[in-house]
A = this chain, B = another copy of it.
Amino acid sequence: MNIYDIAQIANVSIATVSRVVNNSPKVSEKTRKKVLDIIETYGYTPNVFAQGLGLNTMHTIGILVPTIADLYISRAVACLEESLHEMGYDIILGCSGYAAKQKEIHIEMMLSKRIDALILVGSTYAGSDDETHNTSYISKAAEEIPVFLINGLIEGKNIYCNAAEDYRASYEVTTELIKRGRKRIVFLFDSRSYSANQKKSGYEHALLDAGIEFVPELEIFMKNDIDTVRSIFCNYDYLDYDAVFATDDAMAIGAMKYLKAIGKNIPEDVSIVGYNNSMFCKCTSPELSSVDNKVELVASQTVKSLKTVLGKEGNVLHKNMVACELVRRATI
């Protein structure tokens, strides 16, 4: 069933049918109704490929994530999908992992699908997880369609960034720990991504400003996995720390489990703060204090930017930051 069939049955031209389908105002009510009825009874749906061929768009947004099996990312995608769906867009989802090569391949695949815009979720797309440290493939994509980063920052035309103020949040958390008398704060991180660097920097500056000695050994790079962290944490007893601040909740929980296992009291002996304010925080006892980096807010701001960019209505800030908030539970 195509537009010709409908036209023939309705005794009109395909142009008229097309107008009816596309809600063109220049169709008489009578004709419109007649055509609409026939479309209804015969169950006609326009062929998106043919539409796409002419319009060069299929009303589709690409969302690329390192992995969807991550609480922070999946929340972001959930939020994005909801708004975009309401706007009539479909989502093409890609999970690229963290390797540059696969990121490029995925973006290329999406571009070839003629998406209307690309959303990159996670700071891995703005950072230096791999040796190349190269984000030129993103700039290249931005030559064809607008690119939106969530929690990443890349300069460039047609690239729009929405991110949490991780530097500030990290600075404030560290400052609060210091105010509470903590002097040897372990900083756990699992990547060299843009946001990880921001967090690290905030941590370091807070120490500096408070006149606390910065001990490089206290910054520990490790895998973001509860069991891994827990099992290797015994290697760091010698550090004699009184607080742990992690760039992700899972690492904080791994540390907490180790500390509890060796009989430490949380937070009396060691304060612990995680990041992302994920559901995990509610599972532990004591419940984990964590930085809420406002995924939903960042996501909805991203959609807002996207809307105005695609609608060509007015200007859009290249960079859009949202404030985080430390959620104090029982580990601080």
Which A residues form the contact surface with B (CB < 8 A)?
45-50, 52-53, 56, 58, 60, 63, 67-71, 74-75, 77-78, 81-82, 85, 90-95, 106, 109-114, 226-227, 250, 253, 257, 260, 279-280, 282-285
A97–chain B nearest beta-carbon distance, Å: 9
Q: Which of chain B's residues have a CB closer than 8 A to the CB of A94?
A: 81, 85, 90-91
In the bound complex, do residue A78 and residue B67 qualify as a contact, i.e. CB atoms below 8 Å apart?
yes
Q: Which of chain B's residues have a CB closer than 8 A to the CB of A109?
A: 85, 90
**Alpha-carbon separation in the docked complex, A284 to B52 (Å):** 51
In the bound complex, do residue B78 and residue A69 qualify as a contact, i.e. CB atoms below 8 Å apart?
yes
Interface SS of chain A: helix, strand, loop or mixed? helix
A139–chain B nearest beta-carbon distance, Å: 15
24 contacts between A and B (CB under 8 A): A45-B111, A47-B114, A48-B112, A49-B49, A49-B50, A49-B52, A49-B53, A50-B53, A60-B92, A63-B93, A69-B71, A69-B75, A69-B78, A74-B74, A81-B94, A85-B109, A90-B92, A90-B113, A91-B93, A91-B94, A227-B282, A250-B279, A253-B283, A279-B280
A10–chain B nearest beta-carbon distance, Å: 21
In the bound complex, do residue B52 and residue A81 qualify as a contact, i.e. CB atoms below 8 Å apart?
no
A228–chain B nearest beta-carbon distance, Å: 11
Contact of A114 among B49, B95, B279, B280 (CB under 8 A): B49
Q: Which of chain B's residues have a CB closer than 8 A to the CB of A279?
A: 226, 250, 280
Q: A257 and B280 in contact (CB under 8 A), knowing A53-B49, A90-B92, A110-B90?
A: no
Kindly name the residue among A56, A95, A113, A282 whose own CB sees the greatest number of chain B CB atoms within 10 A: A282
A3–chain B nearest beta-carbon distance, Å: 13
Q: Which of chain B's residues have a CB closer than 8 A to the CB of A49?
A: 49-50, 52-53, 56, 58, 114
In the bound complex, do residue A78 and residue B92 qualify as a contact, i.e. CB atoms below 8 Å apart?
no
**Alpha-carbon separation in the docked complex, A258 to B70 (Å):** 27
Not counting A49-B53, A81-B95, A90-B109, a sample of 16 additional A-B residue pairs whose C-beta atoms are within 8 angstroms of each other reads: A45-B112, A47-B53, A48-B113, A49-B52, A49-B56, A60-B113, A68-B74, A70-B74, A77-B93, A81-B93, A82-B95, A85-B94, A226-B282, A280-B280, A283-B283, A285-B285
Q: Which of chain B's residues have a CB closer than 8 A to the CB of A63?
A: 93
Contact of A92 among B92, B95, B112 (CB under 8 A): B92
**Alpha-carbon separation in the docked complex, A46 to B71 (Å):** 36
Please give me the residue from chain B that is nearest to A110 by CB atom: B90
**Alpha-carbon separation in the docked complex, A284 to B67 (Å):** 24
A41–chain B nearest beta-carbon distance, Å: 16
A118–chain B nearest beta-carbon distance, Å: 13
Q: Which of chain B's residues have a CB closer than 8 A to the CB of A282?
A: 226-227, 253
**Alpha-carbon separation in the docked complex, A193 to B69 (Å):** 23
Please give me the residue from chain B that is nearest to A77 by CB atom: B68
**Alpha-carbon separation in the docked complex, A85 to B248 (Å):** 28
**Alpha-carbon separation in the docked complex, A294 to B284 (Å):** 24
**Alpha-carbon separation in the docked complex, A58 to B56 (Å):** 14
In the bound complex, do residue B95 and residue A93 qualify as a contact, i.e. CB atoms below 8 Å apart?
no
